Structure 1
Amino acid sequence: MLAKVKETIDAYGLLQAGDGVVVGVSGGPDSVALLLSLHRLAPEYGIRLHVACLNHMMRPRAAQEEAAFVSRLAQELGLPVTIACRDVPTMARQGKKSLEEAARQARYAFLEEVAGRVGASKIAVGHQADDQVETILLHLLYGAGTAGLGAMSYRRGRVIRPLLAVTREEILAFLAGEGHTYCLDSSNLDTDYRRNHIRHRLLPFLEKEYNPRVREVLWRTAEIIREENSLLESLTRRAWSECLRHEATGTVELSARVLASLAPALQRRVLRLAYSRLLGEGKSLPFHHVEAIRSRLGVREAAWQLPLGVQARLHRGRLRLQRQSLPRGEISFCRRLAVPGSTPLPRGGVLETSVLPGEALSRIDWKEVPAHEAYADLGEPRPQLFVRYRRPGDSFYPLGLGGRKKIHDFFVDAKVPQELRDTVPLVTTATDIVWVAGLRLDARWQVRAETSCAVHFRFIVNQP
């Protein structure tokens, strides 16, 4: 099993020397195997580990025993540990969410908090190959596109999944060989939970009646779909740049002609992207609305009322999606950022950009970089960049703070005067914030030792 974990880490670049890694450990076999594996491999990769365990307060006595088990295990391994409690049942009730969803959100929020506090760059969780298979079936049964059918990724932000190619059977064999005990969560047997129903009823039925190797087949299918979805996401970013004609707060305008010329798969993705850019990350346009728009791209005039107060209108070759009521105080501005070059801003000032090769980066004294400048590793090919002001729901991963933070909350913590918050430029890609000008870079774009090329941003205030 260790060889497979190491192969996964190397294949997907999950760990780099010097990484601090928060390891989420519940006490169950998967997370115990994850912790033991990373502890064994830590000297080879030059990483430091911090154990984190969350009591969801769903099984009071058992959860306390599991937390005590995790604490003892961390102590045996000589590792620091953080134990915390969150009242997930109350969170689920107040947020009108399922227990599963509330627990997942609480768990990741806790892990991000710990990572920020201890200065960790990675969060390792114990999802394994059988979890992946169950996720695929869940998404398939309840509806998903290629992003959903690709299931969980090996890396998303700072979260890594080193066990994703390892089966439950391999994990149990590893623990038996190591002579290590673990805890069993009785709630994993409760088939009232959808995932448990799939695990204990649907998958055994499929193995018995249809294909004894169905888990292997589904896992392999997810691998293929995820890689192909990555390509589609790259093509979508390119198609978005070609279609976009105007973007401002509360409004997106696309070329109907260019959109109609795209393959149906890209049409759907561009439309969903336009909708989510209006309403914020996580808002998805339902399939039947997407198809209603696609079916009439060739006509001269058409209009649609979309969910959450968005109106779409086709007029004179342009498709406009617009929120019908704009929140007070928003400023309607979004412009493509010239790279390299200069981009003027509506209230005076300019954003200057240049591109620096890796050898130039090695000569920079990072401690002396002023607040009005930043350097970002955007990868290759470099995405189209934009400059705009904040929108409702904007969030990013502030460098050095750990975890995701809403722009509003970041401005409050940074003591940005309320009257100035709508005028702070944000450098973005089509989907993500890169730099809050003059304040903070997003941690996902940080320049690293292996960076071969970076974009240098310089925010000049009140330049005529």
Structure 2
Amino acid sequence: MEFLDCVRAGLLGCGIDVGSCRSIGAAVSGGADSVSLLVSLAEIFGAGRVRAVTVNHNIRPDDETRGDAEFVRDLCARLGVACDVVEIPRGKVCEVASERGGGIEEAARFLRYGAFDSFVEKSGVEALCLAHNENDQLETVLMRFIQGSGTDGGGGIRMRRGVFVRPLLSVSRSMIEEFLRSRSQPWRTDSTNSDTGYMRNRIRANLVPFLDAQFPGWRGAVIRGAGKVRDDDDFIDSAVVSSVGKNASSVSRARWDSFPPSIRRRAVQSMLLSAGFSARFPYALMGRIVSVRAGECDSVSFGGFSITADENSVRAFRLDSVEKTRERGFCRSFSAGGRRFVERSVISGDCIAMKDGRRKDVQKILSEWKVPRQSRQSVPVVVDAGTMNVVAVLAGGYGSWIVGEFRAFLEEAGLV
């Protein structure tokens, strides 16, 4: 099949009718994949129905990143395609990576897709084409396998997710380059593609050639296997919607206790997404909530969000939603002994470690201490900012509970 025919088939597979589609977007970086996408879309739709967007992340040398943006702008001008250039301020990617805790690649992706969302809304395109190809799919499946993904990631990249479509997903990189050479169309090469500090690049440079040499036919087998995993993933997703509801950030404890682990894991992810958390929540923390037993309570936090399991429900919420007034909840941070802590009001799901390693619900402790219900929200707890675990409950004359190793820190801070 010729390259343009493959792109047409890919568009159809993404649900795009070339004849009726009024306008289509293309995300273009200047690399071979996105350049081939842009050139083919301009031929298939006509330049007037295509609109391009390029994002300068400003994480490489200035002359290189600006060179990419100028290359895309010039190519669009030659093709007669409208082009939007989005500039991310230098240093912003590193700042977001620090805030989200997911690394440079994840932060760049987060900002890039935010720019794509804005572009789609502003331009009115019916869909935005992304240039992921078959090689990207294989690398993604391998990477997620190595990272320990389950069905929620092991199926690799989907052809369509909302307005984002990937018509090149069944096209090999070699076919892409052959098409561009046949048109005498140059492309840009990202210098970071050879940096093996990135996991994807190590897979591309080391693992893929090894598999090609030792296991002929592995590519087709992995692609087929990923398709089966996506089918399983769709089934589990539908089961979660039936069990928890769409866009719900909480579920009753009775229902939660009846869920198998596979549904619990996906339910936590769904609730976090509904609460506004779009990064990856560490599985080690999520696993505590997934494995909580009937009658037990626990609470974990990461990236400004928390998941709590208390007697009544399991829920996900943004930590900064805690109101910052002494009467109706409060929150402050402080340092002691070189560590960071947060002092805040009690929230549902707070638990503290006991000597035997189990955890106890702070609300139960306050009840046992006979703290009046109307006064409990003014009782401070101290949270270790490194682990987001409650390490102290300070109820004044009613009592105090301090995890032993943290007493010295609280004494230094003048809290005990």
Tell me the TM-score range normalised by the shorter chain.
0.5 to 0.7
Q: CA deviation at 1:99?
A: 2.9
Q: CA deviation at 1:259?
A: 5.1
Q: Distance in 1 between matches of 2:164 and 2:190?
A: 23
Query: Structure 1 unaligned runs (5+)?
Result: 330-464
Q: CA deviation at 1:131?
A: 0.8
> Deviation per CA, 1:429-448, whole angstroms, max 9, x where unpaired?
xxxxxxxxxxxxxxxxxxxx
Q: CA deviation at 1:225?
A: 1.4
1:226-305 to 2 correspondences below 5 Å: 226-241=230-245, 252-256=251-255, 260=258, 264-274=261-271, 277=274, 280-282=277-279, 284=281, 286=283, 288-293=287-292, 296-297=293-294, 301-305=295-299
Name the one with the larger helix percent.
2
Q: Which residue of 1 aligns with 2:322?
A: 327
From the superposition, tell whether residues 6 and 187 of structure 1 become closer, same or farther in structure 2 (CA, over 3 Å): same
Q: CA deviation at 1:142?
A: 1.9
From the superposition, tell whether residues 321 and 101 of structure 1 become closer, same or farther in structure 2 (CA, over 3 Å): closer
Q: Letter of the aligned partner of 1:213 in structure 2?
A: G
Q: Distance in 2 between matches of 1:264 and 1:11?
A: 33
Q: Which stretch shifts more, 82-91 or 25-34?
A: 82-91
> Deviation per CA, 1:261-295, whole angstroms, max 9, x where unpaired?
x55533443354456555745564735324422xx
> Deviation per CA, 1:349-399, whole angstroms, max 9, x where unpaired?
xxxxxxxxxxxxxxxxxxxxxxxxxxxxxxxxxxxxxxxxxxxxxxxxxxx
Q: Which residue of 1 aligns with 2:9?
A: 7
Q: Letter of the aligned partner of 2:288 in structure 1?
A: H
1:23 aligns with 2:18: no
Q: Cα RMSD (Å) of the superposition?
A: 3.2
> Deviation per CA, 1:406-444, whole angstroms, max 9, x where unpaired?
xxxxxxxxxxxxxxxxxxxxxxxxxxxxxxxxxxxxxxx
Q: Could you tell me the TM-score, scaled by structure 2's length?
A: 0.65
1:39 aligns with 2:42: yes
Q: Letter of the aligned partner of 1:170 in structure 2?
A: M
Aligned 8 A contact 1:251 1:278 in 2: no
Q: Could you tell me the TM-score, scaled by structure 1's length?
A: 0.59
Aligned with 2:310: secondary structure?
strand
- State, as a whole percentage, how many aligned pairs show the same letter: 26
Q: Letter of the aligned partner of 1:121 in structure 2?
A: E
Aligned 8 A contact 2:250 2:271 in 1: no
Q: CA deviation at 1:240?
A: 2.4
Q: Which residue of 1 aligns with 2:179?
A: 174
Relative contact order: is structure 1 or structure 2 higher (C-alpha 8 Å, sep ≥ 6)?
Answer: 1
Q: Letter of the aligned partner of 2:112 in structure 1?
A: R
Q: Letter of the aligned partner of 2:44 in structure 1?
A: L
Which is greater in Rg?
A: 2
From the superposition, tell whether residues 184 and 279 of structure 1 become closer, same or farther in structure 2 (CA, over 3 Å): closer
Aligned 8 A contact 1:276 1:285 in 2: no
Q: Say which of 153, 157, 166 aligns to 1:148.
A: 153
Q: Distance in 1 between matches of 2:207 and 2:194?
A: 14
Q: Which stretch shifts more, 88-97 or 150-159?
A: 88-97
Aligned with 1:143: secondary structure?
coil
Q: Which residue of 2 aligns with 1:123?
A: 128
> Deviation per CA, 1:330-350, whole angstroms, max 9, x where unpaired?
xxxxxxxxxxxxxxxxxxxxx
Q: Distance in 2 between matches of 1:157 and 1:303?
A: 36
Q: Which residue of 2 aligns with 1:385?
A: none
From the superposition, tell whether residues 162 and 328 of structure 1 become closer, same or farther in structure 2 (CA, over 3 Å): same
Q: Distance in 2 between matches of 1:32 and 1:275?
A: 36
Q: Which stretch shifts more, 84-93 or 150-159?
A: 84-93
1:89-238 to 2 correspondences below 5 Å: 89-93=91-95, 95-96=97-98, 98-209=103-214, 211-238=215-242
From the superposition, tell whether residues 252 and 84 of structure 1 become closer, same or farther in structure 2 (CA, over 3 Å): closer
Q: Distance in 2 between matches of 1:63 and 1:275?
A: 34
Query: Structure 2 unaligned runs (5+)?
Result: 325-416
Q: CA deviation at 1:31?
A: 0.4
